[in-house]
Amino acid sequence: MKHSCCNSMGIKLFLLLLLVTSLQAKKSHDIALYYGTNPSQTFMQYFDWIVVDPDVINPAVKKRFEKKLFAYVSVGEIEPWRKSNAPYDKKWIIASNKAWDSKIADYTQLDYRNYVLARMKRLYAHGYRGFFLDTLDAPFGSIAPKDEIVYKEGLSELLVQIRTTFPDAKIIANRGFEVQKTLCLNVDAVAAESLYQKIDTKDFTYKEVSKEDRDWLRNQLKAVQNCNLEAISIDYVSPKNKKLQKETVDKIVSEGFTPYVTDYKLLTHGMGEKALLSREVLILYDGSTLTKDDIIRSEPHLILSTPLEYLGYIPKLHDIREGFPELSQENLAGIIVWDGGENETELFSFIEEVIHSNIKVLFLNSFGFTITPQKAKFLGLSMIDNPSHLLDPITITHRDAIVGYETQPFLKNQSPIIEVVEGNPLIRAQNSLGQPFVPAALTPWGGYALDQSFMISSSNTSIWAIDPVELFRLALQLPPIPAPNVTTENGSRLWMTHVDGDGMIEKTRFKPDEYAVETLYNEVFKQYKIPQSVSVIVGEVAPNGIAPLLSNRMIKGVKEIFKLPYVEPASHSFSHPFQWKKIVEAQGDSEGYNLPIKGYTFLLNTELQGSIDYINTNLTPPSKNASMLFWTGGCNPPEEVLREAQEANILTINGGDTTIQKNAPWLSLVSPISIKKGDYRQILAPNQNENVYTGNWIFPKWGYKRVIETFEMTDKPRRYKPIDLYYHFYSASLSSSLASLKSVYDYVLTQKTLPLYISDYIRIADDFYNTSIATIENGWEIRNAGELKTLRLPKDNHYPDFTKSDGIVGFYDDADGRYIHLNGQGVYTLVMSDKVPLVPYLIQSNGRVITSRNSTLVLKSYVPFQSKWNLPSGCEIKTNQKMTISKIKEGVVSVTSSFPTEVKFEFICH
């Protein structure tokens, strides 16, 4: 039930009801079926129940979304080709299904029913808590009418056995209408294929369902609803026909059933009730000069990912040497071609398919294939030879407003020269003979920016000549989505502090009786009472480590640090591998690749879970447990190391190279949020540590204070990064470096920040790639894991409509957009209006929303609490403890305290 704003009847309005909570119960689930290997993460996040093929689904996907997965189980047919099936008895076979290459089974036989149950038990042991029971009705098409009763009894007995064996599992039955009463008592939902659109298994063509068949199925589904089960219609439409897919969804919804429309192989991202927006942008590159693990240092990752992520999109790097993806199985918002390699013919064929599929494409550097008159015509371009010499002068006659971002374009004479027939030039120029050409343009199919028209590159620097955020937005025609944001929460810039364990055993030069671990404790950790995430190299602390004679003293020092209530513990490995890939490949022969610990043979488990276990057993107080590891050395772990960490549920961070400063003010020096390596993602540190700012700890030792320039330049005019105060223990070993470090702390304390732990940030950053967005009338529905709590929209004349939105607690206008505050519930409705909201809402706070239910909104801060609220005339604010409430201006108040706190808010309007 929704409430409107304060009214003359003096209705009491609680903040949660007023701003966010809808009391209307959800009538159905959003359900998908996907039998491929690697579905989009945002697709998986959006749906409540997802049916997968357990033999095919990627293990990393299964682990992440296990709680919502339903394992496909064929009940009435045996699939001989399925490798996970146990051997079957031929006496169970009563017929064949040639269309699907399967055998129709006799479930009247007890041993066959046990065979089905045994498969389900294996799936259950593998973690599945949902089952999709298919082919329930398959035998009825192959038996005599006189046998129907015994087959119905066999199917009923099997369904009862399944429910009895798996009482806590969710079960969807595909058809099974022959035993309707048994279904009603033993399953959670019933699906049926093809209410409106079907696949003809004779020739595998998509066709419309006849009225007679539709009427029959409609009656069966209504009977399902009559016993309070969810009724699902799975219809089949070509993935190329999005219009018909949407029309079919709408028809199913109008009937009152749960829709899912997909291809007949269930290998594409199908369509549910709401239209899910694509967030992935495919980046094609030639990886011939890179090894698999060098992608973290590659140009397409370092240069293209950050602007895309700022816009709210997810870069998906793809090496064209591996071929080209099947477009129907992708979920793409656009494509960027960085370079084309040697596959020119295949690339152009792929681009033709892309353009025909209405997916926008942007070419950077070159087209990736040799341009010919025929290809130019297809792209709406023209070409002529350029008789000018390489060094002849070029005159730029037109620059779009987005040109000249960090530098001006540098154009060279090349042949042929390109003109735009259909499109809008971003740069127009002419050669020394007066011939016009267009090296960069927007076109109906996307756009292009050739050679150094968009970027000037040297061996160490890449400088944008065209604003990449605007270039990507315009060329790929990206809609203005509420961009998931990892830099900000409740209107305040996030501030994390994380410390690598290196150097705690170093002597403090200016205090000869102390070690760095003790100096940092006294000078920093005890003084700055803010969330701090501190890691330990176990091999520097443990008795069997590199300094056994110092072990007792190091253990004592670390224990004192971990006792501090605002410090969270982490591992920095056991032996500090310098190069993870080489040390793993060395298979135990780790000399030169890690700390020289006497008698130690490298073991991956010892470095990861083993080091964390040591910390939790020997260093942390009973109230704390470490669950994080900060990558060491080059911070470039290969996929197998990431897999090991993630399978052990270890949070990890480090890597990246955000070093933008006043003497190098280039966006290409701002790292992306993460890098995907195979099936696993490495979250990168938002900022770099003092080693970078001190010339690898050579000179100047006080150089870390220049990180303040990085903090400022990644804040305005666009906020690309949160603040991460990231350093090593050895910063405490010198007076100059320690003073520099303290000056950075003091600077950040003057900023409007929301301090939190690096573990919080890791979860937020990971949730960026989970967040799914679907369009609704006048807004969006957003779903994620509840960790990322900020969306950014353009500042315009549209505001959240709090009376129609759900999970939205406020907004704040900053330099680069309108930041929308989420309450963390994981499912949000954001409806926009052109009316300025006249209700209480949160403008800004340095506390996080902890709960917002039962008519309350609770915020928690790790530092003295600050908040600012919109409070219309006639409304009052109540808190569960004494707070300082001050009027800032008409309709705006601050609520503060002099200490960290968890405070409950309630608003009453008369």
Q: Which domains does the chain have, with CATH numbers?
A: 15-22+778-909 (no CATH), 31-276 (3.20.20.70), 280-478 (3.40.50.880), 492-751 (3.20.20.370)
Q: What is the pTM of this model?
A: 0.95
Report pLDDT for 855: 66
Q: How far apart are the C-alpha atoms of 705 and 882, rounded to whole Å?
A: 38
CA nearest to 161, candidates 206, 113, 106: 113
Close Cβ partners of 372 (under 8 Å, ≥ 6 residues apart)? none
Q: What does the alpha-carbon distance between residue 77 and residue 141 come to, in Å, rounded to a whole number? A: 12
Bridge partner residues of 399 (DSSP)? 427
CA 203 to chain CA centroid, Å, is 39
The closest of 364, 498, 474 to 423, measured between CA atoms, is: 474
Angle at 204 between CA 201 and CA 208, to 5 degrees: 85
Residues 792 and 485: beta-carbon distance below 8 Å: yes
Strand partners, 827: 783
3-state secondary structure at position 886 = strand
Q: Say whether 895 sits in a helix, a strand or coil.
A: strand
- Residue 898, classed as helix, strand or coil, is coil
Buried b (16+ CB within 10 A) or exposed e, 5-33: bbeeeeeebbbbbbbbbeeeeeebbbbbb
CB burial of residue 594 (10 Å; 0-12, 13-18, 19+): buried
Asked if 235 and 197 touch (Cβ cutoff 8 Å), the reply is yes
Q: What is the mean pLDDT of each run of 10 residues along the chain (910 residues)?
A: 33 36 53 98 98 98 98 97 91 94 96 98 98 98 96 98 98 98 98 98 96 98 97 98 97 98 98 96 91 84 98 97 93 94 92 97 97 97 93 96 98 94 98 96 99 91 98 97 99 99 98 98 98 99 98 99 99 98 84 92 97 99 98 97 98 97 97 97 98 97 98 98 99 99 99 99 99 98 99 96 96 98 98 96 98 85 98 95 97 98 94
CB 20 within 8 A of CB 852: yes
Which stretches of 523-576 are DSSP H helices?
A: 538-541, 551-563
Report the DSSP beta bridge partners of residue 868.
844, 894
Apex CA 458: angle with CA 456 and CA 460, to 5°? 125
What is the structure's pLDDT at 221? 98
Residue 854's pLDDT is: 61
Are 818 and 806 within 8 A, CB to CB? no
